[in-house]
Structure 1
């Protein structure tokens, strides 16, 4: 059988590699899927449904050969806030709508644009999410009772402080066992799924030695069904969709960004190249399908994608196998999950939070003590203290303002060393060199500098624009204003070395013809009179 496209040259040997990689990643995904669902405020089974449905579709339809999709830590604070405010049913509505948006992002070729989010903003909100995830697991780690969950980080920390006296030594002991296994397995047995081993060993210890002494998945959420739920449409009423639109947009933007970042990690590891727009379409279809089976929003999972590659994956088949593996485990072992203590799940998420915290990147950027450091700090603090939307929005606005300032500072107007000394029939010639981009952020200095020169009423104003590669309509308007000013006292504006983009712009606006074709030159020495 001949294969083409992403499966070109595929054979039995490659399938065996995909099979092994898919089974390993599927085993890794089981505890993470349940843990992320619990942290998001829903039952653990919904995390498994997401891994199965979305995981298979993301691999099948996405733009990366190695991408593994499913619930991720980045979504946790957002999904928890949605569940708290609107309920689980409306989370499904928001998830489906986000899927539609992702498909549209891909259809309209917006994949590459998502790569332009500044790194300080990405690092800031990722570190902020890590803090939120870690802090939310403290209560389960300590076995605190009757802890009320809030949307506010400060209120949640205060609640933990109030309930510290209700700690459970059995929970702490079991959580300690799970944490020790996670840390030791990462060093001593890196190829073995530490999260699954930690859950199995700590759960066995709890069942054997401390039965009924701590909260478990069963006591908190009941039994996990041994099958996928029947396909069911959420309530897509107009009122519901309008209400959930902002939440859906946030899920879509974050999911799109996270999936492309994950695909880029895969590219770096394998030397491959993903299709950003196809990736968004695949992610969108997966997020439209998952809510129909009770699944929560999914995206590319960086750690699981890296695990997939490290275990020898060669095609999207490994991602499909990963979803099928989770489905088989669900069908056979789901009833046993009721015995898993919540204290066993807490260290899994704490380690995930620690690994996603970008602590080295944060330290490196903060040492710079520049605008990037400030953007990172503001994004991080606002994400933790308020929410992701405010944090990212503020970070993007600050990054934009600082970028505009830097670009405007790179624009300069000066008198060149070799100015044209004489022009026929003119008693006064002023020559100035303009360097850097001319856009709305630099027009203040451009306008004030040129108009100051016009106070001397030169008969000929020569602008050397060889080093101006970009101009926008705001700068074009200033140039038109300068032309009008100099024409008032019968002067001439001459432009030398105009580059292609500015030339095309002023042709379209008509300024080229107003200045006059005869007043444009390629080189200074062409100006003879």
Structure 2
């Protein structure tokens, strides 16, 4: 118990410069969350307060119960696009109850250790996911850079200059925060004609209140919300777990993915109870937090708490923050998120890995659906892996000098993708009276492999050959014993058929 408490304390506080860095990083993230949350609310077809209150609740709750310190979770576009038909056809109250069910599903997924499915996501898919997200973040800034005056371009350029040059003077204050404050002061002081946060949508006034969704709790409601809740839960967990892996790599630390799943569930339930939409981890804001010095839970908590303070107390001032300042910050995030090493690696890495990465990027960017891109990458990785493994396979045939005995030595993995080659290796015209199949250097993985061996032994026996299979390892013997057709092959666990 003492060790657990000490570990939890380290995840919260560092003291000195680390404490200051977490607080300042959280402030930067809070400001950057506002236009994102408003934009996602507009996408979902709900009032801006639904996205803003969700971001407050999710960030605060996940800082307490999440499994990845320093990662930022809030309302996201990935979830917002899923609920558009639900809000349009049934209203915002059904969105709230669907978000509660989403949270329950995510918590159950954590209990069932579905986070372990991340083991099947290859490094190429993660790299493609990161690059695609960087491209999408940049594309999302283009509406703020089209049809605007020169002042906007000048402020974006100035913001980028501050972000990249200010750290040469000092790193005591995050340069994105300096850029936001300086550009806001210039915009207000000079009365520049640029878009502001207030132009994105009306900011809410006051604090959110706890309210239960006003919908009938019956099977009809469940039938309506269940498909949306399942999709939101899956998309939210996928993006959260991938972002957690990316933050792990950036900070050279590990995270508790199971706890993160359950934490995401709890955060979404609380968000819905306070009138918010669903959300998940945000790679853009997480990168802002980490690059600004945020490493611990405190930075995530400050992001949510300071966002609430901005909305409740400083709303009119926040509405005057120029969008070019936030565009500069997000361009910095886009540049920092993109894996630039992946470009020269296209020539150095195996072609299959490069194809998986490029397909993931192409699908995500073309569909703007992160889950589809990751799914495409995972499926392609599986196909390439199966093809690679089935080639690491051979059957060697040896015949005795008198031609009466033939021995087949099987080497490699026999499974659904290699059974065709395995079967064809025995399609020779064997005139030997006795055939020995030595599988001591092979491994049978599935019922397809067992079925292929069944057919081979049965055919040889029909041709009048004596067949002996030997050398099973324990795992192969077990699956053969359970699934082989005993009446045809006479297999017994660990024994040679007669």
Q: Which runs of 5+ in 2 are unaligned?
A: none
Which deviations, in whole Å up to 9, do the C-alpha atoms of 1:120-150 show, x marking residues without a partner? 22222332232222122122134x2xxxxxx
Which of 462, 465, 471 lines up with 2:436 in the alignment?
462
Residue of structure 1 in register with 2:405 after alignment:
429
Paired with 2:259 and 2:387, the residues of 1 have a C-alpha distance of 35
The alpha-carbon distance between structure 1 residues 326 and 519, as it changes in their structure 2 partners (threshold 3 A), is closer
How much does 1:258 deviate? 3.7
Q: Which runs of 5+ in 1 are unaligned?
A: 145-166, 522-526
Query: 1:192 aligned to 2:168?
Result: no
Normalised TM-score (structure 1) = 0.79
Which of 504, 509, 513 lines up with 2:483 in the alignment?
509
Residue of structure 1 in register with 2:30 after alignment:
30
Residue of structure 2 in register with 1:49 after alignment:
53
The alpha-carbon distance between structure 1 residues 322 and 171, as it changes in their structure 2 partners (threshold 3 A), is closer
Which deviations, in whole Å up to 9, do the C-alpha atoms of 1:33-65 show, x marking residues without a partner? 11422443547765553443212222322234x
Which of 453, 462, 473 lines up with 2:447 in the alignment?
473
**2:129–2:361 CA contact under 8 A, matched in 1:** yes
How much does 1:281 deviate? 0.7
Paired with 1:366 and 1:37, the residues of 2 have a C-alpha distance of 39
How much does 1:278 deviate? 2.0
Deviates more, 1:358-367 or 1:103-112: 358-367
Runs of 4+ off more than 6 Å: 236-241
**1:50–1:290 CA contact under 8 A, matched in 2:** yes
Alignment RMSD, CA only? 3.6
Residue of structure 2 in register with 1:151 after alignment:
none
Residue of structure 2 in register with 1:484 after alignment:
458
Paired with 1:473 and 1:277, the residues of 2 have a C-alpha distance of 32
Paired with 1:136 and 1:35, the residues of 2 have a C-alpha distance of 11
Paired with 1:35 and 1:438, the residues of 2 have a C-alpha distance of 54
Deviates more, 1:244-253 or 1:382-391: 244-253
The alpha-carbon distance between structure 1 residues 9 and 47, as it changes in their structure 2 partners (threshold 3 A), is closer
Matches within 5 A, 1:33-432: 33-42=33-42, 48-64=52-68, 66-71=69-74, 75-76=76-77, 79=80, 82-83=83-84, 86=87, 89=92, 95-142=99-146, 144=147, 167-186=148-167, 188-211=169-192, 213-233=193-213, 248-264=229-245, 273-293=254-274, 294-299=276-281, 301=283, 302-303=286-287, 306=290, 310=293, 313=296, 316=297, 319-365=300-346, 367-368=348-349, 370-388=351-369, 389-415=371-397, 421=400, 428-432=404-408
The alpha-carbon distance between structure 1 residues 96 and 184, as it changes in their structure 2 partners (threshold 3 A), is farther
Normalised TM-score (structure 2) = 0.83
Deviates more, 1:50-59 or 1:316-325: 316-325
**1:33–1:44 CA contact under 8 A, matched in 2:** no
Q: Secondary structure of the residue that 2:67 maps to in structure 1?
A: coil
Paired with 2:39 and 2:221, the residues of 1 have a C-alpha distance of 24
**2:103–2:268 CA contact under 8 A, matched in 1:** yes
Q: Secondary structure of the residue that 1:395 maps to in structure 2?
A: helix
Paired with 2:355 and 2:227, the residues of 1 have a C-alpha distance of 27
Which deviations, in whole Å up to 9, do the C-alpha atoms of 1:324-383 show, x marking residues without a partner? 344344443233111112232222222222222223224423653611212222221222
**2:125–2:377 CA contact under 8 A, matched in 1:** yes
**1:134–1:349 CA contact under 8 A, matched in 2:** yes
Paired with 1:271 and 1:374, the residues of 2 have a C-alpha distance of 27
**1:92–1:295 CA contact under 8 A, matched in 2:** yes
Paired with 1:312 and 1:411, the residues of 2 have a C-alpha distance of 47
The alpha-carbon distance between structure 1 residues 518 and 267, as it changes in their structure 2 partners (threshold 3 A), is closer
**1:433–1:465 CA contact under 8 A, matched in 2:** yes
Which deviations, in whole Å up to 9, do the C-alpha atoms of 1:219-256 show, x marking residues without a partner? 33124424235535276887776566565445433432
Q: Secondary structure of the residue that 2:205 maps to in structure 1?
A: coil
Paired with 2:164 and 2:346, the residues of 1 have a C-alpha distance of 27
Which deviations, in whole Å up to 9, do the C-alpha atoms of 1:439-473 show, x marking residues without a partner? 110011111112x13x3243222122122234210
Paired with 1:6 and 1:407, the residues of 2 have a C-alpha distance of 46
